[in-house]
Amino acid sequence: MNSNRPRLVLGSASPRRLELLGQIGFAPDEVRPADIDETPLRGEAARDYVRRMATEKCAAVTAARGESVLTADTVVVAGRRILGKPVDRDEARSFLALLAGRRHRVMTAVALKYDSQYWQRLVETTVKLRPLENSEIEAYLRSDEWQGKAGGYGIQGRAGAFVSWMSGSFSAVVGLPLSETATLLRMIGLTPSERA
């Protein structure tokens, strides 16, 4: 093992981000979730908000010498409205009703810090959900898959059946743009591991 290799800290509690990292051969040395206030600023544009969240999460994770920190944030945007993680089933229902039958944008920002330097990438994907019956929405809500998901749905689960069209990065919609993340990690000398 290369002792000069930066240690990789994943600053996220998301099991999906951990799985996606493993999918491209990266295993973090440690998972250290960031805890920040995720309230959008008054009038803040979605792109600015998601970039700020990824960067603030990165800054909130303490890194020792030789450690790099990777964080990400994902939001769903309907028109100009930012849809974060629903607080309860009623909000998840309202999100799905809003998104049904229309296109929306999913923005994921990924941030990396190492040796007091920061890098960031923003990936935007357009997704269209087909029209949904109330019974379909209720059945999805009963599955509890909406919990902890921006916009109230997870494209990698049952809600994949709701998606009629997509343009962009599937992995970014799940929560981590793989190509951009791999590029950032290579910039600091991290390469995929055979054991990941």
Known catalytic residues are 73
Interatomic CA distance for residues 186 and 85, integer angstroms = 31
Q: Reduced to 3 states, what is the DSSP secondary structure of residue 30? A: strand
Query: Phi/psi of residue 103, each to 5°?
Result: -85, 150
Interatomic CA distance for residues 24 and 26, integer angstroms = 6
| Nearest partner of 129 among 90, 55, 76, judged by Cα | 76
Q: Reduced to 3 states, what is the DSSP secondary structure of residue 51? A: helix
Distance of CA 40 to the CA centre of its chain: 16
Q: Reduced to 3 states, what is the DSSP secondary structure of residue 177? A: coil
Interatomic CA distance for residues 129 and 19, integer angstroms = 25
- Contacts of 4 by beta carbon, 8 Å cutoff, 6+ apart: 189
